[in-house]
């Protein structure tokens, strides 16, 4: 390393060359940063590129995933109760372990906060975390607490385990496999719309009562998402190992694209098969003038699981009320196609979330 | 959970009760938050309370530690080259694994940054991280990248392993054990003084040349600390398992207090045994009018190792040029006493770092 200049005057000014991160996007940035990374341990089975990294522990695989949640970027405390925030921070990390067909075991929590936050506020966050740890049976084993200049930042790392012959990656979908999704889609995004609108009303007139009748489901989807560990256990009971899997954090379209791109396949999905809750459907149409299908395809944060299974397993899941079969895997040259109710076919675009 | 009020009007206002976190301090906060935590997995051997958490992996222990580094709290980019920042972020985490007598294996990196940072800036940080990963043979296996409203935040989680009969905790020092410390102390703190002073000069007059002659060592100690994995390997070669160990991130005094409090012992240390580099000594006296001993006791960020060994192992390390024996462990009622050069004894106070 070059220690010839300790005072980095160039940090005060612009660097010689400047490429905006926004021009690459999050996925482009990750691709760029991970390309020169070398591994030194043969225990490292999988690095960057899936829901969790995979480490060989002898008789099983260890899974590791990490997520940062920043106030003003990932959450707005004017409508997010601190307890819910703590719960959600754990749940979304557990979801990454579920997406590898694993079971979460331990978690570490980094928390940075400005002096705007009192001890009571931090205890609210931890109360939500403890509830989630109880629901998902995960042990909070460590962390870091520090001051921040402004706002609240949570950084969670979750560990999990999975039997070596049961691990499921993103890049192993095969032509002919059936595309499945758990629960229903678009609700979390619509809940966010409801909360954002309500905040605007409140800011304009703090005396107004919130108008959230009939929105309890979509708001719960946004504020307190669940990791679908229940499905992981049920698939195990049914003797099914998915051929590929990912969790839906950025929206169904974006996640299907990940599976297809990484597996070198295409997919066909059917509009009339996409699972949308009645309340989500009504809220989209009546309150927000949004297409329910667009919300299901591109709304993020549902934390449901998207997975593929071999056709031979179809009979085992076709009656499952929490699993919808929404399409099938094709050759790569077919890309990702959506068959509409009227029979026309459109190419699916991944919108996803753009933080940068 | 109570979903009766989705819009958290109380978040807009003060909460009913308000206890300032500053009134507890970092250690008080951690103690308060960790008291109600339950563990569900018998694989969880040790949670919060040491340099790393410990998980039973069958034939060995897995170690996990996490650290957040925030711009404006932990580093100042006006005098921290981004490459050095990346290097240091990895080194300080590796140091936590070393402090458990372990070897680091994998690391995950969370990075949040505002649009002030270009792709080139992020690549500088990663270049430093890759160098540290090479030096310590640790695999960067995952992470998270996200936008921040302001500043740069790094969140690192490191994994390591250690044989079950070789793990070393903080709380196992015994009366009569010899207190040892690696390398030398106070340099990183004095390097920070030099850089802070130089920044003030620069802000006042950007044309001034930096006056850092004879300060290269202390500046390197601040900007590019090393994790003492070399000592971990040498102790193994010597057949020594320390009876307790901790890394020096908050200052020698603070770390001795941790060992003594958690082990239920006291300690005596000798002023004339504290290892201080000549350049640190001269800089303290000549440039900053500081006591070198105070810098050694209370200056943070040296990332040396403080450990105790049984008396029977003394012969094996007494000639080691990177290990100083600085005192011994006593009964708890003796507290932590410093014997000065003139023969007087003073009680050691842990100053440590106060972020809150």
- CA–CA separation, A53 vs A41, rounded Å? 13
- Long-range pairs for B336-344: beta carbons < 8 A, 24 or more residues apart: B336/B253, B336/B256, B336/B257, B336/B260, B336/B266, B336/B267, B336/B268, B336/B269, B337/B266, B337/B267, B337/B268, B337/B269, B338/B268, B338/B269, B338/B270, B338/B271, B338/B297, B339/B268, B339/B269, B339/B270, B339/B271, B340/B271, B341/B271, B341/B272
CA distance B344 to A23: 65
pLDDT confidence of A16, banded at 50, 70, 90?
Answer: low
| Percent of chain A scoring above 70 in pLDDT | 94
The interface predicted TM-score of the complex, written ipTM, equals: 0.90
Say yes or no to pLDDT of A8 above 60: no
Q: What is the 3-state secondary structure (H, E, C) of chain A?
A: CCCCCCCCHHHHCCCCCCCEHHHCHHHHHHHHHHCCCCCCCCCEEECCCCCCEEEECCCCEEEEEEEEEEECCCECCCCCCHHHHHHHHHHHHHHHHHCCCCEEEEEEEEEEECCCCEHHHHHHHHHHHHHHHHHHCCEEEEEEEEECCCCEEEEEEEEEEECCCCCCCCCCCCCCCEEEEECCCCHHHHHHHHHHHHHHHHHHCCCCCCCCCCCHHHHHHHHCCCCCHHHHHHHHHCCCCCCEEEECCCCHHHHHHHHHHHHCEEEEEEHHHCCCCHHHHHHHHHHCCCCHHHHHHHCCCCCCEEEEECHHHHHHHCCCCCEEEEEEEEEHHHCEEEECCCCCEEECCCCCCCCC
Minimal Cα distance from B46: which residue of A? A141
- Across the interface, do A144 and B53 touch by the CB < 8 Å criterion? no
pLDDT tens for each residue of A224-275: 999 999 999 999 999 999 999 999 999 999 999 999 999 999 999 999 999 9
**CA dist., res. A343 & res. A324, Å (int):** 20
pLDDT digits (tens, 9 = 90+) for B147-197: 999 899 999 999 999 999 999 999 999 999 999 999 999 999 999 999 999
**Where along chain B do its domains lie?**
42-162, 178-347
Q: What percentage of chain B has pLDDT greater than the value 70?
A: 94
**Chain A residue with Cα closest to B215:** A6
DSSP state of B77: T
Contact B9 A64 (CB under 8 A): no
Is B105 in CB contact (< 8 Å) with chain A?
yes
Among all residues of chain B, which has the CA nearest to that of A36? B130
Q: Which residues, at least 6 apart from A29, have a Cβ–Cβ distance to it below 8 Å?
A: A21, A356, B119, B122, B145
Chain mean pLDDT for chain A: 91
Interface of A with B in 281-340 (CB under 8 A): none
Do A46 and B144 lie within an 8 Å CB cutoff? no
pLDDT digits (tens, 9 = 90+) for A306-324: 999 999 999 999 999 999 9
* pLDDT, tens digit (0-9, with 9 covering 90-100), for A288-312: 999 999 999 999 999 999 999 999 9
- Residue B28: which pLDDT band, with cuts at 50, 70 and 90? confident
pLDDT band at A32 (very low <50, low <70, confident <90, very high): confident
**Nearest one of B51, B267, B277 to B179, comparing CA atoms:** B267
Which residues of chain A from 42 to 71 reach within 8 Å of chain B, CB to CB? 43-44, 46-48, 52-53, 55, 57-59, 62, 64-68, 70-71
Least confident of B9-13, B96-100, B343-347: B9-13
Q: What is the pLDDT of residue B24?
A: 85
A356 at B interface, C-beta within 8 A: yes
**With an 8 Å Cβ cutoff, are A66 and B143 in contact?**
yes
- Domain A178-347: CATH superfamily, name plus number: PurM-like C-terminal domain (3.90.650.10)
Of B98 and B348, more confident: B98
Q: How far is A93 from chain B (nearest CA, A)?
A: 12
- Which one is predicted more confidently, A28 or A328? A328
Distance from CA of A188 to the nearest CA of B (A): 14
Question: Does the structure show a pLDDT above 90 at A356?
Answer: no
Minimal CA separation from B86 to chain A, in Å: 12
pLDDT at A190 over 90: yes
pTM for the structure as a whole: 0.92
Does residue A21 sit at the B interface (CB-CB below 8 Å)? yes
In this structure, the number of other CB atoms found within 10 A of the CB of residue B23 comes to 11
Please judge whether A58 and B59 are an interchain contact, meaning their C-beta atoms are less than 8 angstroms apart: yes
Q: Is B156 on the interface with A (CB under 8 A)?
A: no
- The CATH number corresponding to A42-162 among 3.30.1330.10, 3.40.50.720, 3.40.50.9100, 3.30.2130.10 equals 3.30.1330.10
CA neighbor of B226 nearest in space, from A143, A109, A1, A9: A1
Query: How confident is the model over A269-288, as a mean pLDDT?
Result: 96
Asked whether the beta carbons of residue B70 and residue A39 sit closer than 8 angstroms, the reply is no
- What pLDDT does residue A207 have? 81
CB-CB: which of B1, B128, B141 is closest to A131? Answer: B1
pLDDT of residue B52: 93
For range B114-127, the mean pLDDT: 93
């Amino acid at each position: 390393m070059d220690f010839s200049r300790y005072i980095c005057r160039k940090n005060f000014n612009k660097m010689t060359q400047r490429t905006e991160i926004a021009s690459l996007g999050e996925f482009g940035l990750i691709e760029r940063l991970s390309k020169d990374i070398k591994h030194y341990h043969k225990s490292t089975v999988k690095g960057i590129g899936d829901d969790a990294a995979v480490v060989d522990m002898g008789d099983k695989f260890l899974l590791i995933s990490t997520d940062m949640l920043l106030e003003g970027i990932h959450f707005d405390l004017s409508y997010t109760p601190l307890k819910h925030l703590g719960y959600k921070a754990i749940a979304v990390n557990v979801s990454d372990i579920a997406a590898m067909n694993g079971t979460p075991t331990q978690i570490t929590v980094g928390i940075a906060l400005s002096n705007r936050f009192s001890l009571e506020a931090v205890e609210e966050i931890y109360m939500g975390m403890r509830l989630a740890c109880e629901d998902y049976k995960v042990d909070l084993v460590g962390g870091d607490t520090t001051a921040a200049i402004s706002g609240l930042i949570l950084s969670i790392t979750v560990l999990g385990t999975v039997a070596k012959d049961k691990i499921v990656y993103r890049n192993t979908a095969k032509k002919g496999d059936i595309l499945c999704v758990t629960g229903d889609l678009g609700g979390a995004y619509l809940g966010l719309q409801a909360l954002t609108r309500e905040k605007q009303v409140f800011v304009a007139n703090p005396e107004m009562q919130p108008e959230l009748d009939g929105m309890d489901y979509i708001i719960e989807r946004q504020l307190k998402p669940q990791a679908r560990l229940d499905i992981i256990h049920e698939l195990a009971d049914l003797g099914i190992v998915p051929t590929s899997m990912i969790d839906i954090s950025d929206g169904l379209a974006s996640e299907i694209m990940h599976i297809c791109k990484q597996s070198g396949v295409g997919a066909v999905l059917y509009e009339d098969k996409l699972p949308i809750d009645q309340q989500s459907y009504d809220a989209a149409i009546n309150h927000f003038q949004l297409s329910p299908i667009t919300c299901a395809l591109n709304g993020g944060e549902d934390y449901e699981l998207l997975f593929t299974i071999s056709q031979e397993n179809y009979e085992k899941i076709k009656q499952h009320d929490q699993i919808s079969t929404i399409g099938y895997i094709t050759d790569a040259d077919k890309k990702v196609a959506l068959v509409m109710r009227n029979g026309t076919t459109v190419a699916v675009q991944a919108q996803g979330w753009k933080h940068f």
